């Protein structure tokens, strides 16, 4: 609202002054009024207000004095009194200053008085010669009023619960971010002035046992400068955040930037966070980058970019950048007009399902101010038209800084509602069904060296077993070997874990569909490359009683080709195995043909035949009990063994 009023600044003051014609003949009132103009221009707002009160006392129908009093009170942020002053001017002559209806409606909108706002905007738009930019804004207000009036007739369920004293304090808390297991929360807390930089924003972190533990400062990342709007990676091993220049142009003792506010990242090894680093020129510019959100596949960063115009930030939109195979970020691109409005977007969140986007905006139809919206990615990759989360989740106030749990059913947000611990607190509430993301479970575990059980840092990929597309790519912690990734439920996954000097590990599993699917947990042992070591290719498949490779085998075999190309001196034996159902001679032939089929595939992909041998073992080397279907399924397998390293 303040920016809009600045657009009209001094319009009321200059009205009729050139001709020295006023709506009063009272010389004393005019003298006070002209003195107030000089004081206003000198930014002595208190002095101007004093003279304007006297002008009004001299002539209670002096319209110009009430208009200038309105602007003076806006400058002093005394908006309730400003509303009374503009209303007084309009009551004397509603046609004298048509823009007054617009400003009166704006002030009513900030209180959620939609019926009155609607009438004021309609009155303003009834005049022919008004500023087109203000007309456009007035029409947007009308759209919002109509939306809000209807939304209030159909409220959505909303019962916010304060997250308690271990999370909240007497200071403001906002911008929460969760790991995919919903057991670690990272957020911003604004602390009282402690140094020359004034009030300070720092990160606080808490973990959940039975309840949330007392939040602690995030050591290693917090500085005497401001840190804000954090996004913690799904596994809790990396974070992205905003840091801005201070009055001297500094981002902090160890940080360099490109101008204004930039995005930085820090990664965790064991219990230690690294020194934050700038994300670079593909993402950061001389303008304003803030409020990041990192996707659960580890490949995409969403954020807000605004353009600086003097001290103001304009045209705030949602942008995104992809992490390329080289480890560099791609040049950021703006999300389409479907999502980004002509107004302001902020507080973007990509849910762990990878397809649900939450954000705040004042440019889409809403309740006034910033409302929270949801957009979903369609099958063609495009984003659906944003949907307002409704009343009373959204109100005439500013609603933003939302995050949503991996299960998609609970949201966290910041609010200064009554009953809190002081200023902004973090609250949780159950999302209405229509605004929930797809439930996401997770896989967690540890990677160790099979020869000594020591933790390993290893790359792991989760792929679609049919298409071979990598859906999630990450690394286990180099200190403790742990990993955690979020996974949409109701689908099959092919897992490959690899590290230089080790045989890769493969796995095939399914996460059943359901809002409370149990996480998949795994201890992964990687075997050093040695003669005699073997790997079961759990994602190589054949149809029943067939030696024809299924399409779902392509991802696994492509990984084997890559492994053999990197270890070009290695020779391996491909072994085919069956269960004990059927004649031994038939199983022997079938297992041999399957081993040969894999060898042929590798040769066709350029692996020299002399590096490969194939052998069928039928049911002679079971790895599970053939007395159960589950055991027989494990015994029906293809594996490779290292026969030579030189």
The reply to whether 523 falls in a domain is no
Helix axes 99-109, 79-92, angle to 10 degrees: 140
pLDDT mean over 255-277: 86
> What CA–CA distances, in Å, run from 66 to 5, 61, 92, 130?
15, 9, 10, 20
Residue ranges of E strands in 72-198: 161-162, 173-178, 184-191
The reply to whether 45 falls in a domain is yes
| Residue 578, both tokens | 């069956």
Pick the closest to residue 72 from 12, 24, 1 (CA basis): 12
**Where residue 300 sits, what CATH number does that domain have?**
2.120.10.30
The reply to whether 370 falls in a domain is no
Domain count, the chain: 4
Q: What span, in angstroms and rounded, lies between the C-alpha atoms of 153 and 257?
A: 48
Q: What span, in angstroms and rounded, lies between the C-alpha atoms of 176 and 185?
A: 7
- Residue 608's beta-bridge partner residues? none
Pick the closest to residue 177 from 244, 234, 103 (CA basis): 234
Summarised one tens digit per residue, pLDDT across range 43-77 is 999 999 999 999 999 999 999 999 999 999 999 99
Lowest mean pLDDT among 224-228, 239-243, 276-280: 224-228
Q: What span, in angstroms and rounded, lies between the C-alpha atoms of 34 and 39?
A: 9
The DSSP result for 21-83, as a single string, is --S---HHHHHHHHHHHHHHHTT-HHHHHHHHHHHHHH-TT-HHHHHHHHHHHHHTT-HHHHH
The reply to whether 9 falls in a domain is yes
**pLDDT of 297:** 84
- If one compares 244 and 150, the residue with the highest pLDDT of the two is 150
Q: pLDDT band at 129, cuts 50/70/90? A: confident
How would you classify the pairing of strands 470-475 and 459-463? antiparallel
**pLDDT of 517:** 57
Domain final residue pick, 435, 454, 482: 435
Domain final residue pick, 461, 477, 511: 511
Summarised one tens digit per residue, pLDDT across range 358-405 is 999 999 999 988 999 999 998 888 999 999 999 999 999 888 889 999
Lowest mean pLDDT among 30-39, 342-351, 537-546: 537-546
**pLDDT of 19:** 43
Give the rounded percent of residues in the chain with a pLDDT score beyond 70.
93
| Same-domain status, 142 and 217 | no
Q: What span, in angstroms and rounded, lies between the C-alpha atoms of 272 and 501?
A: 27
| Same-domain status, 623 and 582 | yes
**Where residue 462 sits, what CATH number does that domain have?**
2.60.40.2190
Give the rounded percent of residues in the chain with a pLDDT score beyond 90.
67
Q: What span, in angstroms and rounded, lies between the C-alpha atoms of 269 and 83?
A: 56
Lowest mean pLDDT among 216-225, 245-254, 283-292, 462-471: 245-254
Pick the closest to residue 33 from 60, 84, 68, 78 (CA basis): 68
| Same-domain status, 64 and 174 | no
Domain final residue pick, 435, 454, 487: 435
Residue ranges of E strands in 476-546: 482-488, 491-498, 505-511, 520-526, 534-536
The reply to whether 547 falls in a domain is yes
Asked whether the beta carbons of 105 and 121 are under 8 A apart, the reply is: yes
User: Which H or E run includes 422?
Assistant: none
At a CB cut-off of 8 Å and minimum separation 6, what does 270 contact?
A: 477, 479, 480
Q: pLDDT band at 10, cuts 50/70/90? A: very low
The DSSP result for 216-277, as a single string, is EE-TTT--SS--EEEEE-TTSSEEEEEEE--TTS-S-TT---SSSEEEEEEEEETTEEPPPE
**pLDDT of 18:** 42
Half-sphere exposure of residue 216: CA atoms within 13 angstroms, side-chain side? 7
Q: Does the pLDDT of residue 253 top 70, yes or no?
A: no
Q: pLDDT band at 260, cuts 50/70/90? A: confident
**Where residue 533 sits, what CATH number does that domain have?**
3.30.1330.60
| Same-domain status, 621 and 645 | yes
**pLDDT of 192:** 85
- Long-range own/partner contacts, residues 144-147 (CB < 8 A, 24 or more apart): 144/109, 144/114, 144/365, 144/366, 144/367, 144/368, 145/109, 145/114, 145/115, 145/117, 145/118, 145/121, 146/118, 147/365, 147/366, 147/367, 147/388
| Residue 412, both tokens | 């966290």
Summarised one tens digit per residue, pLDDT across range 481-529 is 998 888 877 788 888 999 999 999 988 888 777 655 567 788 999 999 9
**pLDDT of 254:** 62
- Three-state SS for 376-395 is EECCCCCECCCEECCCCCCC
**Where residue 115 sits, what CATH number does that domain have?**
1.25.40.10
Q: Does the pLDDT of residue 259 top 80, yes or no?
A: no
| Same-domain status, 426 and 445 | no
Look-up of token digits 């959620």 = 112
**pLDDT of 197:** 56
Question: Taking all residues of the chain, what is their mean pLDDT, rounded to a whole number?
Answer: 89
Q: pLDDT band at 250, cuts 50/70/90? A: low
Look-up of token digits 């045209």 = 315
| Same-domain status, 474 and 601 | no
| Same-domain status, 309 and 444 | no
Summarised one tens digit per residue, pLDDT across range 413-425 is 998 888 889 888 9
| Boundaries of domain holding 91 | 2-153
At a CB cut-off of 8 Å and minimum separation 6, what does 436 contact?
A: 404, 408, 409
Full-model pTM: 0.84
Lowest mean pLDDT among 173-182, 186-195, 608-617: 186-195
| Same-domain status, 501 and 574 | no
Q: Does the pLDDT of residue 310 top 70, yes or no?
A: no
pLDDT mean over 290-304: 93
CA 244 centroid distance within chain: 19
| Same-domain status, 275 and 411 | yes
Q: Does the pLDDT of residue 620 top 50, yes or no?
A: yes
The reply to whether 149 falls in a domain is yes
| Same-domain status, 342 and 455 | no
| Same-domain status, 230 and 139 | no
Q: Is 125 helix (H, G, I), strand (E, B) or coil?
A: helix
Lowest mean pLDDT among 5-14, 218-227, 558-567: 5-14
| Same-domain status, 430 and 443 | no
**pLDDT of 368:** 87
Q: What span, in angstroms and rounded, lies between the C-alpha atoms of 348 and 319?
A: 9
Q: pLDDT band at 601, cuts 50/70/90? A: very high
The reply to whether 226 falls in a domain is yes
The reply to whether 388 falls in a domain is no
């Amino acid at each position: 609202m303040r920016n809009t009023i600045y657009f009209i600044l001094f319009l009321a003051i200059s009205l009729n002054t050139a001709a020295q014609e006023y709506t009063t003949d009272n010389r004393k009132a005019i003298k006070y009024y002209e003195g107030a103009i000089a004081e206003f221009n000198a930014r002595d707002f208190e002095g101007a207000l004093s003279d304007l009160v006297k002008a009004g006392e001299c002539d209670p129908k002096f319209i110009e004095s009430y208009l200038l009093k309105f602007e003076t009170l806006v400058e002093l942020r005394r908006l309730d009194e400003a509303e009374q002053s503009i209303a007084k001017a309009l009551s004397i002559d509603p046609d004298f200053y048509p823009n007054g209806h617009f400003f009166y409606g704006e002030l009513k909108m900030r209180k959620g008085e939609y019926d009155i706002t609607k009438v004021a905007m309609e009155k303003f738009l009834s005049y022919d010669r008004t500023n087109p930019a203000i007309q456009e804004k007035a029409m947007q207000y009308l759209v919002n009023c109509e939306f809000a009036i209807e939304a209030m007739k159909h409220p959505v369920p909303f019962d916010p619960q304060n997250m308690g004293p271990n999370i909240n304090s007497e200071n403001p808390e906002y911008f929460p971010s969760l790991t995919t297991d919903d057991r670690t929360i990272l957020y911003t807390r604004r602390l009282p002035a402690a140094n020359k930089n004034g009030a300070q924003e720092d990160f606080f972190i808490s973990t959940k046992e039975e309840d949330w533990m007392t939040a602690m400062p995030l050591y290693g990342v917090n500085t005497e400068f401001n840190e804000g709007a954090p996004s913690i990676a799904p596994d809790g091993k990396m974070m992205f955040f905003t840091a801005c220049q201070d009055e001297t142009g500094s981002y902090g003792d160890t940080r360099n930037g490109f101008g204004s506010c930039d995005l930085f990242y820090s990664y965790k090894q064991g219990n230690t966070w690294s020194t934050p680093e700038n994300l670079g020129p593909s993402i950061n510019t001389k303008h304003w980058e803030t409020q990041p959100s990192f996707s659960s596949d580890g490949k995409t960063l969403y954020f807000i970019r605004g353009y600086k115009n003097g001290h103001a930030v304009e045209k705030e939109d949602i942008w995104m950048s992809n992490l390329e195979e080289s480890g560099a970020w791609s040049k950021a691109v703006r999300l389409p007009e479907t999502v980004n409005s002509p107004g302001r977007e902020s507080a973007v969140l990509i849910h762990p399902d990878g397809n649900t986007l939450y954000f705040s905006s004042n440019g889409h139809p809403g309740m006034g101010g910033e409302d929270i919206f949801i957009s979903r990615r369609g099958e063609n990759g495009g984003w659906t038209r944003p949907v307002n989360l409704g009343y009373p989740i959204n109100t005439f106030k500013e609603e933003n800084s939302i995050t949503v749990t991996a299960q998609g059913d609970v949201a966290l947000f910041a609010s200064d509602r009554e009953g809190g611990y002081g200023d902004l607190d973090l609250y949780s509430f159950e999302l209405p069904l229509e605004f929930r993301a797809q439930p996401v479970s997770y896989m967690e575990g540890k990677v160790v060296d099979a020869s000594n059980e020591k933790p390993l840092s290893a790359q792991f990929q989760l792929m679609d077993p049919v298409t071979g597309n990598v859906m999630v790519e990450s690394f286990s912690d180099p200190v403790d070997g742990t990993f955690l990734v979020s996974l949409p439920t109701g689908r099959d996954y092919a897992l490959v874990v690899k590290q230089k000097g080790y045989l890769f590990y493969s796995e095939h599993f399914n996460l059943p569909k359901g809002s409370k699917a149990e996480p998949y947990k795994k201890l992964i042992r990687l075997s050093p490359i040695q003669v005699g070591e073997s790997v079961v290719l759990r994602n190589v498949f054949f149809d029943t009683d067939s030696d024809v490779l299924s399409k779902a085998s392509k991802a696994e075999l492509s990984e084997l080709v890559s492994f053999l190309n990197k270890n070009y001196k290695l020779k391996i034996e491909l072994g085919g195995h069956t269960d004990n159902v059927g004649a031994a001679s038939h199983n022997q032939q079938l297992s041999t043909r399957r081993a040969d089929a894999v060898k042929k595939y590798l040769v066709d992909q350029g692996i020299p035949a002399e590096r490969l041998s194939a052998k069928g073992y039928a049911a002679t080397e079971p790895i599970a009990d053939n007395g159960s279907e589950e055991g027989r399924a494990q015994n029906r397998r293809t594996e490779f063994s290292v026969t030579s390293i030189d």
